[in-house]
Amino acid sequence: MFDIDKLNTWRILVIDDEPMNASLIKSIMAFYDVAVDIAFNGVEGLAKLDQDSFNIIMLDLSMPKMDGWEMLSRLRTDQTKAHIPVIAFTAHAMKGDQESVMKAGFDGYMPKPIRVATFLSELKGFLTNIADERINQL
Mean pLDDT for the chain overall: 90
pTM of the model: 0.92
SS3 content of the chain, % helix, strand, coil (to 5): 45, 15, 40
Domain 11-129 homologous superfamily, CATH: Response regulator (3.40.50.2300)
pLDDT for 56-114, tens place per residue? 999 999 999 999 999 999 999 999 999 999 999 888 666 778 889 999 999 999 988 88
Residue ranges covered by each domain of the chain: 11-129
**Residue from 75, 61, 66 nearest 112 by CA:** 61
Q: Distance between alpha carbon 128 and the CA centroid of its chain, in Å?
A: 14
